[in-house]
Amino acid sequence: MCGIVGYIGEKNATPIILGGLKKLEYRGYDSAGMAVLMDGRIEVRRDAGKLEKLAALIKESPIAGSAGIGHTRWATHGIPSARNAHPHLSKDGNFVVVHNGIVENFLTLKEELEAEGVVFQSDTDTETIVHLLEKNYTLTHDLISAARKTLLALKGAHGVVMMSRLEPDKIVAARIGNAGGVVIGYGEGEMFVASDIPAILDHTRRVVFLESGQMAVITRDGASLSTLTGLPVKPEFHVISWDPVAAEKGEYRHFMQKEIHEQVRSLTDTLAGRVDWEDARVLLPSLNLNREIAEKIQKITITACGTAAHAGMVGKFLLEHIARIPTEVDIASEFRYRDPLVNANTVVLAISQSGETADTLAAMEEARRKGAMVWSIVNAIGSQAMRIADGCISMQVGPEIGVASTKAFTAPLVDLYLLAILLGDLRGVLTQRDRQKLVSDLSVLPDAVGRCLDRENEVLAVARALKDTRDALYLGRGINMPIAYEGALKLKEISYIHAEAYPAGEMKHGPIALVDKDMPVVAIAPQDLWYDKMISQIEQVKARGGVVVAVATEGDQRVESLADHVFWVPRVNWLLAPVVTVIPLQIFAYHIASLRGLDVDQPRNLAKSVTVE
């Protein structure tokens, strides 16, 4: 959830960057820093903690210059500290970089650089970028060429901004995947770059958004856009309203669409500071969990409502398979009105975006009354569900405005995966090799989600074909069964189309009677443990004249030959598959509702937080 701001022009960059970082501080406050070109050198000020510490540091040791970049950080690689704060300088002091994202191949890059004599000054993955830039500049003697070569070497999804004292008239910015937005602001004799619009809205309303795989060379007179491979790109200008709500939406029509696209960033932030990539360990300090507590747990009961309950259903698979702890999922409104069998050896884990859901809070109170340990996974910092829990995991997704939850569904899936690894590790049921594999599989997840988002137009085409349907069936098996429930819920919530979800194995027990040419059947069929069973269900639907929309692994020719429409998703570890299989279903529901002219962000009869029964 890092924030980035840059400026080049005739004014002093320091107050402009500080002001912009203040607007983005909600995106990261583990540390903050700034670099400006001052008297022919790069001057850096940075410190751990909130932005006010950086401001005090600059007041004590002033810096000024007409070009600079700044950063407010939510830690990913490396603990929050001054040495891990951005910006990062090259060893010769000629280059400086700020970055949002996770360099998936940073260990490989770091080993190669260390073999060449580079001594790292931080624990961050970002530092590999600035050292690569320095290395490539010695080969090309050109900042733009060196930047291209560096960016093409990075795996994962990133927002990157670079500057050099050797070519002080320019700033280079790039977006790779969907880890973070990069917006270029156009002024008179001055230019701005930021990770989000609010940072520069006080200075300009005329902006260009970089797409994935694009970079911009920014001077005080304008910006030249191209692909990472050097093909020129014609900028598409947007004029942003001063209205803060419209500004927050940015390039998107609705908050829901924006929040769907923020999931690469929100998942990156969910991993931030919680995964020790080198030692392959999970860190969840706010859970207050140790080996003694982990070993005494005999059962976990997940309680939640709606979308959060669907996340909990996925969590049951993760906790039982990875940590080998019996787990059940209880709808909070039911849990509170019966006599649940929980005791001091039970953990009751509540999941809530708002942390103020009445039924979920009541379920937590009932669990406490019966002596259970109470944990929560919550998005809203300081909410009741966070305060009354014995331990908590924060979702780290930032504000979610759209009533239909999207990024606050995928984040707890990853939180539950992390929790399962930590419990499995503490209880001694995971080998080191197993743990390393599970942790390693996480590193590709933000990029995989970004690849799903890149296919939005393909999903839109299917939405156009099916927007007038009146009913739909959603089918899934195993760990993707809850995704069928979630996909159907999304369609119901915002498009008002009647949609039902079933475990695919239940089709022959009744629901198959509904199948005809007017009943689209959405089958979630990635190449996982249940793949052959899902293929059988698709064939049965086709044999009865049904229209099949399949969610399938990229390159699956068998599904392609059977289905009428396919939403392609990348191959990931089956335990993480729900994070990618749900993305096209979110996009599908969004575009159906939008094409039907409905109020996507505020669907009828619904509220964002259900604080009453």
Catalytic hit among 2, 305, 392, 452: 2
From the number of C-beta atoms within 10 Å of its C-beta (0-12, 13-18, 19+), residue 371 rates as exposed
Residues 6+ apart with CB under 8 A from 273: 30, 74, 75, 76, 79, 80, 283
Residue 346 near residue 303, CB atoms below 8 Å: no
Instruction: Identify whether 2 is a catalytic site residue.
Output: yes
Residues 6+ apart with CB under 8 A from 266: 1, 395, 396, 397, 398, 407, 410, 411
**Closest-CA residue to 490 (of 581, 554, 569):** 581
Structure-token pair, residue 414? 């990853």
Q: What does each C-alpha distance from 574 to 203, 431, 527 come to in angstroms?
A: 46, 19, 8
DSSP string computed for 330-385? EEHHHHTTS-----TTEEEEEEESSS--HHHHHHHHHHHHTT-EEEEEESSTT-HH
Residue 187 near residue 179, CB atoms below 8 Å: no
Hey, how many other C-beta atoms are within 10 angstroms of the C-beta on 450? 25
Q: What long-range pairs does 127-130 form, CB within 8 A, spacing at least 24? A: 127/88, 128/103, 129/88, 129/97, 129/99, 129/103, 129/154, 129/160, 129/162, 130/88, 130/89, 130/90, 130/95, 130/96, 130/97, 130/162
Catalytic hit among 50, 53, 370, 608: 608
Q: 3-state class of 528 per DSSP?
A: coil
Instruction: Specify the DSSP element, H or E, that contains 173.
Output: strand 171-176
- Distance separating the N- and C-terminal Cα atoms of the chain: 34
Which residue type occupies 609? S
Strand partners, 100: 159
Catalytic residue numbers read: 2, 608
